[in-house]
Amino acid sequence: MAQSVYEPARGSGERGAILNTLRPMLEARVGPPVEFIVNWLRAGEGWAFVQVSPQRPGGNPIDLRRTTFASQLDYMDGIVTYALLRYQHDRWNLIDFVIGPTDVFWQGDPLYERLPRGLTPY
């Protein structure tokens, strides 16, 4: 039986397409350019869920005081970003995301309860 949830391989077109779908949303909020440290990436059954740590090229940190988040820093747990994507209409589409959450935001959400098992970290 084929594995329904998997981690797209580093350097694969699928992995790149998923991350490139996330990039414009993040760059609109923190400014370009942004690259990602991928903490979690799983795909399956037309869904993908990612947890990334955005940074500037070369590993430089993003100064949140110089972004759209400047007034929200007291309510954020850093810049770790989670996103849910869906493959539809021949491309990946951003369905849901949160930046710097202080809890496991997807638990209890009926949409996330319908996702393939193993797509989210817990």
The model's pLDDT over 7-62, given as tens digits with 9 standing for 90+, comes to 999 999 999 999 999 999 999 988 999 999 999 999 999 999 999 999 999 999 98
Fill in the amino acid letter for 85: L
Structure confidence at residue 100 (pLDDT): 84
Q: What is the pTM of this model?
A: 0.89
Does residue 24 form part of some domain?
A: yes
The model's pLDDT over 74-103, given as tens digits with 9 standing for 90+, comes to 777 778 999 999 999 999 999 999 988 878
Residue 92 near residue 85, CB atoms below 8 Å: yes
Rounded to 10 degrees, what is the CA torsion of 84, 87, 93, 99?
Answer: 10
Does residue 120 form part of some domain?
A: no
Kind plus residue range of the DSSP H or E element containing 20: helix 13-30
Identify the CA nearest to 100 among candidates 76, 71, 75: 76
Domain range enclosing 23: 13-110
Q: And the tokens for 103?
A: 């809890």
Q: What is the mean pLDDT of the chain?
A: 91
Count of domains forming the chain: 1
Does residue 122 form part of some domain?
A: no
